[in-house]
A and B are shown apart, each in its own frame.
Chain A
Amino acid sequence: MTEPISRKLYRRVLLLYPEPFRHEFGNEMLNMFVECGAAQGSWHVLADVLISAAKQQIHYLSIPAPKSAPLYSEIAWSPNLARILAVAVFGVVLIANVLAGGGKPEAREPWTVPCARTRSIATQTTMQLIRFNSENWAHRE
C-alpha cells in the first residue's frame, strides 16, 4: 500500500521541528496524523503543523547560548590560553618599558617611578605565568 502524499508531506514537515522537540513528541505526532486527518482534514493538519514548526524554530533560536566557563577555570584547564595571556602581559610590559624610556635610567622623570614599579610587578607575573605554562605542559607530556 502506498503512502498518501499528505502523509509523506507531514513526515517531511515534522523534520522542520527542532531536534529536541522532535525527539520528545515526533512519534506521537506522526501516529496522530491518520486520526486527526480524518477528523479535521489532512491539509488543515499540515498547515497547523507547519505553523507550529516555525514557532518552535523561532523559540529555539531565541534561547541564549550557554555561558562559557569563567576565565580562571579556562586558565587552569587550557595551557594555550595561559600562553596567550602570558604573551599579552609581556606585550603590555614591553610597551610600558618603551613609554618609560626603557633602558635609559638617566632619562627617567619622577612620574615614571610608579610606572617602573608596575613594570617590575608585570615582569614577575609574566615569568610566573610562563613557568606555570611550561610546568603544565611538562606535566601533560
Chain B
Amino acid sequence: MEAQSKIPSPLSPAALQILAALATEDLHGYGIIQAVSAQSQGRIRIGPGTLYDNLKRLMEQGWVRDLKPASENDKRLYRLTAAGKAALSCEISRLDDLVRQTKRCLQGMKPRRAE
C-alpha cells in the first residue's frame, strides 16, 4: 500500500503520539503503548482500543506498515513508512509554528490594569 500524498492536519493526539513513538524504532503493540507513556512522562496513556483504531487508520493511509513475525511466538512489529515520516515532520513543523507564534503573542501581551 503506497502512501497517500494528502496529509490531514492536525493529527489527533493519539495518532501523533503513535507516529512519534514509531519514529525511533519498530515496535509491537504494547511497545507503542509503553513508548507513548514514556515520551509523555506518563501523562498520556492509550488503551488497546485507541491504539488499534489508530494503527488501522495509519496503515490504511500508508503511514505505518506491519512486519509479519518470523515465527508464531514473535509479536508483530509496526514500522513508520517514508510517507509517515513526512506526515509526522509536517505536523511537527505546524505545531512548532503554532508554539512560536503563541509565545510571541504572549510575550507581547500587556497585563490588563485592574479597573
Taking a contact as CB atoms under 8 Å apart, the answer to whether A49 and B76 are in contact is no
Stretch from A24-32, A69-77, A80-88 contacting the other chain: A24-32
A48's contact among B37, B50, B56, B76, by CB below 8 Å, is which?
B50
For the complex, count residues of A whose C-beta is within 8 A of B: 22
Q: How many A-B residue pairs have CB under 8 A?
A: 53
Taking a contact as CB atoms under 8 Å apart, the answer to whether B47 and A40 are in contact is yes
Residues of B within 8 A of A128 (CB): none
Taking a contact as CB atoms under 8 Å apart, the answer to whether A49 and B48 are in contact is yes
Residues of B within 8 A of A100 (CB): none
Residues of A within 8 A of B56 (CB): 21, 24-25
Interface residues of B (CB under 8 A from A): 29-30, 33, 37, 45-50, 52-53, 55-56, 75-76
Interface residues of A (CB under 8 A from B): 21, 24-25, 28-29, 32-33, 35-36, 39-40, 44-45, 47-53, 55-56
Give 8 nearest A-B pairs by CB, closest first.
A52-B49, A48-B47, A49-B49, A48-B49, A25-B52, A29-B48, A52-B53, A32-B48
A-B contact pairs, 23 of them (CB 8 A): A21-B52, A21-B56, A25-B52, A25-B56, A28-B75, A29-B29, A29-B52, A32-B30, A32-B33, A32-B48, A36-B48, A39-B33, A40-B45, A40-B47, A45-B48, A47-B47, A48-B46, A48-B49, A49-B47, A49-B49, A52-B50, A52-B52, A56-B53
